Amino acid sequence: MAIFKGAGVAIITPFTEDNQVNYEELGKIIDNQIENGTDAIIICGTTGESATLSHDEHDACIRFAIQHTAGRVPVIAGTGSNSTAEAIRLSVHAEEAGADALLLVTPYYNKATQNGLISHYTEIAGKVSIPIIMYNVPSRTGVNIEPETAVYLAKHVKNIVGIKEASGNISQVAKLAALADGCLDIYSGNDDQIVPLLALGGIGVISVLSNVAPRMTHDMVMSYLEGDVEKSRRLQLDAIDLCNALFCEVNPIPVKAAMKLQGWNAGGLRSPLSEITPAHLELLKNSMEKAGIL
């Protein structure tokens, strides 16, 4: 059984004026997401600035999201690391805190071989019992999970059940889907490729777009899964300019700016991320207006 079908939000981490985690605002954002159809909360992912959260903050954000969501939708904890030992520590903590599943990015910077990836994921999976979604985003990590590797892990490690595919390579996803033949749940990791991945057998998205357009993102996926392909296609095309604008600078710079335009107290960005440029802010604003979310 899938952890979730539909749209999971890769939720931001809002900060206070003194750059601390703003848990009050995070709770409001979670509530708004659930009220607008979001099917899962993904906490402490790339969009949540996990790379600049301290270990204590990372643990605390996961605990908070689980407690505040209170079972309304699944909570998937981002617990990946470039260190297998640290990924195990984060994953064990998340399971003990009550996470429904884990999202494990490939170990960045180390550039593991495919054998290294198999060892890394197998070792982590052996220390927890909850389901694991692998996260393939080679543009950020420098490592690609080859389709054969992903399928090997799904077939040999019982709690590795899904993959967030953000390679951007549709041909690779097609090969993955063909090799997997249903043994691995595929989620889009790119908002501009939601419908193409669904057409290849995907069951949802782990989304940046959902932060600012939760209902649209949910409906885009569920319309397809319920057979209304035309509505899903139309929503995908209506959102394309916004999807592109949300990546006009490195994520999560644009999405935090977009949420502030919507009135959310998203706060600033932790260094080395910088505030969005005026030109890109105008581009973002125009795309939000065109999509009807501002």
Terminal Cα-to-Cα distance of the chain (whole angstroms): 37
Is residue 292's pLDDT more than 90? yes
| 183 half-sphere exposure, CB direction, 13 A CA radius | 19
For position 4, what pLDDT does the model report?
Answer: 98
Q: SS3 helix, strand, coil % of the chain, rounded to 5?
A: 50, 15, 35
Tell whether the model's pLDDT for residue 1 goes beyond 90: no
- Model pLDDT, residue 238: 97
Would the pLDDT of 63 be above 90?
yes
52 by Cβ neighbours in 10 Å (0-12 / 13-18 / 19+) ranks as middle
Whether the Cβ atoms of residue 122 and residue 115 lie closer than 8 Å to each other? no
Q: How confident is the model at residue 214 (pLDDT cuts 50, 70, 90)?
A: very high
Q: Which residues are catalytic?
A: 135, 164
Question: Residues 101-129, buried b or exposed e (16+ Cβ, 10 A)?
Answer: bbbbbbbbeeebeeeebbebbeebbeebe
Helix (H) or strand (E) holding 95: helix 84-97
* pLDDT higher than 90, residue 272: yes
- The pLDDT > 90 percentage for the chain reads 100
